[in-house]
Amino acid sequence: MSVALVREYRGDIEECVHYGHICGVDDRGKIVYSAGNPEAVSFLRSSAKPFQAIPVVRHGADEHFGLTDEEAAIMMGSHRAEPFHVAVLESMLRKTGLSEEQLICHPTYPLSVYATEALLRDQKPKRSIYHNCSGKHLGILALCKAMGYPMDSYGSPEHPAQREILDTLAELAEVPPESIGLGTDGCGFPVFALSLHALAVAFLKLACPDLIAKPDLREAVVKIASRMNAHSEMVAGTDRICSSLLLDSNIVAKGGAKGVYGFSLRRERLAFSLKVEDGSEDEWPLIVASILEQIGYGNQETIDRMYELAPLEIRNDNRLVIGHNKPVFTLHSNI
């Protein structure tokens, strides 16, 4: 059963409640923190991107085409197509010899309002590389080109790259591949459904790669996680929670659509996954900040950045304080 995670008040009257679930695991994969149902199942959406990038790095396609760490980092990103994102994506196209027309993600305008406004002022058209998943797609296409895989069916669940992604995720989440639910994501890729427990176990490996037995898989995970931290702006963008959390070198984090989020802590050897049931992402920073506070996390700057992204005070268009947000969940500890 879900629990209230965040309550919103206008004046002193409750206006909105966001329910959901949280799971926290230790380095044995044991559930040590929870709120709601830690076994609740959710589609991972874009929180799967670090795992989807693993075959690209594992087979050396990034090095084959001479991608920089910055360019490789956007493969794990849900970018906003800000100008610095577009510059990196266009560089990837040149280096790989891929064409934008090979991307199955639909042409769109950027998620960044400011980037879209600039394009509309200049009467520029929609492009596939503006899609927030285009970095992931370019990564898989680069893998296909390097490995000699079919290019036109790269988004099919039966494609060898997609089968390897599924098997890799299953291995890191410590579940059978056949137990992972499948759907189709907005960008056209297969999307995976896992319990929050299994998702947290998978995220744990991003922060604690020593738990991965296979050397080549472990090495790929180390590269992916370090690139996410070193080039956090590529994983999301300006004033976004993923980029803000990744500024903390102790944290690996990635969110997905419809309220699912995962993050892990290197020193503490803990990982958390959460799901906001109504699909809202606005509450993520408040929930993550409260989790970090409740476990006694030592980096106050990281917590402060979360509250900067989602202030406790609610202000109206005139910047007047007219209400407040309140994280209301209590983590149940099994330590």
Per-residue confidence (pLDDT) for residue 335, from 0 to 100? 80
Find the distance separating the first CA and the last CA of the chain, reported in whole Å: 22
Residue 214, pLDDT score: 98
Are the beta carbons of 278 and 17 closer than 8 angstroms?
A: no
Which parts of the chain sit beneath pLDDT 70? none
Q: DSSP for 182-212?
A: EEE-TTSSEEEEEEHHHHHHHHHHHH-GGG-
Pick the CATH number of 3-333 from 2.60.40, 3.30.1490, 3.40.710, 3.30.43: 3.40.710
Specify the pLDDT at position 141.
98
pLDDT by residue (tens digit) across 310-322?
A: 999 999 999 999 9
Buried b / exposed e over 135-170, threshold 16 CB at 10 Å, is bbbbbbbbbbbbbebeeeebbbeebbbbebbbebbb
Each residue's pLDDT tens digit, 153-168: 999 999 999 999 999 9
